[in-house]
Amino acid sequence: MPAGRTVTVSHLGRIEGHGGISVRIVGDVVHEVNMDVFEGSRYYEALLKGRHFLEVQGIITRVCAICSASHTVAALTALEKALGLQQSARVHHLRGLLVLGATVESHALHVFALALPDFLGFPSVIAMAAEHPREVAFALRLKQLGNRIQELVGGRAIHPINTLVGGFGRLPGASALRSIREELGAALDPLMGTVDLVASIAVPDWPAQETLYVALKPYEDAYRFRGEELCTSRGERHPVESYRDLVREFTVEHSHAKHSALASGETYMVGSLARLKLWGHLLRGRAREAFERLFPRGVEDNALLNNWAQLVELIHCVERGMEVCDILLGMPEEASEMLAYDVRAGRGVGALEVPRGTLFHEYELDEEGRVVSANVITPTAQNLANVERDMRRAVERMIAKDAAIPEPRLKLGLEMVARAYDPCISCSVHVVRER
């Protein structure tokens, strides 16, 4: 039997949180691929039990500072469903703007600072500035614009406080919305310039393999990040309330985060590439142009393309953000908006497409509004099993092409696959519960 070797990436750089990779290879056979998540578990769901529903938002957003706006909107959506509350049009659009801001911030950093240096052969975003100074400078200003949108709507850039069950404490003024709209408009041309740069980059095919994708069906006939139906690229459809029928969680020894698979046992991918696969035909405007330019044959099965899918979504977020500003500016200016509601027992599921994929929050409340049970499933936790599957394929392809492939190249390939999913380890580990 040939001697085996283990390839270990002890710290996976440029991902959010602490994770690593280990791969066991014997001869030309890949025996084991693990994405190790060793960030500590958080037990947030257990912490919420017995708490009043008004405390939920403030606690659950602490899962992750980076994804706090996404967790806020998902939690509020679920709680309002449990209480039988119907969002007003203004609340709906403001929360939509908050999600767009969070996505701009997240995608801008991932595409420009984390993915592009890999593909262009630079060790870091600063090194990339030597040849691409305009893109590097623009990226940070775009990220900052995403922050400012979150500050305007959420009251601060992380852990929003202005977003409440039933409404908003203070509504953004018209001049602030006009200013944000103007800045979004100014971002479009530089973004389209990046599409030209990206279109010239050859994307390796190591991890490419047939993949199942899952994303929410938009609530209207347009590219949107919210919806009430969960769809697979195979045509299955489930109301979000019965997400547990489709998504099954399980624990693995090497990870503090749960993994997910479909009820059939198949792994799947959520995120920008999944959304484009299912709903790319709904894109309009310059996002549509970018989609057709970067995906001329439609979405192909290759996780590395998730980086380019995020770029398409950045353009969509900018265009949609301008539209939402216009809608809000067309409404009568008010200081605040809050629906009246009665506290009652109930269960609610909030599902939302956030930068890394579909996020689920579920809460059950008793008649006094105290949390009986809580469940959160993050996109990263859903993707982890598929990341391992794609890393296995990538290693198999790389050693098939070159059995003597140097270990640093193998490691870089593995890291690029993991990073393409843009994993948020901090979010993923909170879901493990002691039983």
Q: Count other C-beta atoms under 10 Å from residue 134's C-beta.
A: 12
Tokens of 308: 């380019």
* Angle, helices 285-294/306-329, rounded to nearest 10 degrees: 170
Residue number, 259 or 419, with CB nearest to another protein: 419
- Cβ-Cβ contacts under 8 Å for 9 (sequence gap 6 or more): 20, 21, 22, 411, 414, 415
What is the residue type of 196?
D
Say if CB 415 and CB 28 are below 8 A apart: no
> Which of 71, 110, 181, 389 forms a contact with another protein (CB under 8 A)?
110
What is the residue type of 14?
R
Say if CB 376 and CB 360 are below 8 A apart: yes
Q: Which residue stretch of 27-35, 119-127, 209-217, 311-319 sits at the interface with another protein (rule: CB under 8 A)? A: 119-127
Tokens of 199: 């279109």
Q: Which residue stretch of 142-150, 198-206, 245-253, 257-265 sits at the interface with another protein (rule: CB under 8 A)? A: 142-150
> Which of 35, 56, 66, 216 forms a contact with another protein (CB under 8 A)?
66
> Which of 46, 137, 174, 199 forms a contact with another protein (CB under 8 A)?
137
Across 269-428, the runs of DSSP E, i.e. the strands, are: 337-338, 346-354, 357-365, 371-377
- Site mask, another protein, residues 30-59, x = CB under 8 A? ----------x-x-----------------
- How near is the Cβ of 225 to another protein at its closest, in Å? 19
422 is an interface residue for another protein by CB under 8 A: yes
158 is an interface residue for another protein by CB under 8 A: yes
Say if CB 233 and CB 274 are below 8 A apart: yes
14 is an interface residue for another protein by CB under 8 A: yes
Q: Count other C-beta atoms under 10 Å from residue 403's C-beta.
A: 9
> Which of 4, 13, 193, 298 forms a contact with another protein (CB under 8 A)?
13
In terms of Cα–Cα distance, which of 12, 13, 22 is closest to 391? 22
Beta bridge partners of 293: none
412 is an interface residue for another protein by CB under 8 A: no
148 is an interface residue for another protein by CB under 8 A: yes
In terms of Cα–Cα distance, which of 183, 171, 58, 173 is closest to 108? 183
129 is an interface residue for another protein by CB under 8 A: yes
154 is an interface residue for another protein by CB under 8 A: no
247 is an interface residue for another protein by CB under 8 A: no
9 is an interface residue for another protein by CB under 8 A: no
Tokens of 302: 């290759």
256 is an interface residue for another protein by CB under 8 A: no
92 is an interface residue for another protein by CB under 8 A: no
Residue number, 81 or 256, with CB nearest to another protein: 256
411 is an interface residue for another protein by CB under 8 A: no
Residue number, 265 or 408, with CB nearest to another protein: 408
Helix (H) or strand (E) holding 78, with range, is helix 68-83
How many helices and strands in the chain, by DSSP H and E?
A: 15, 14
State the alpha helices, DSSP H only, in 211-305.
243-246, 272-279, 285-294
- At 34 the three-state DSSP class reads strand
233 is an interface residue for another protein by CB under 8 A: no
160 is an interface residue for another protein by CB under 8 A: no
> Which of 34, 147, 232, 428 forms a contact with another protein (CB under 8 A)?
147
Binding site for another protein (CB under 8 A): 11, 13-17, 40, 42, 62, 65-66, 106, 109-110, 113-114, 123-126, 129, 133, 136-141, 143-144, 147-148, 151, 157-158, 419, 422-424
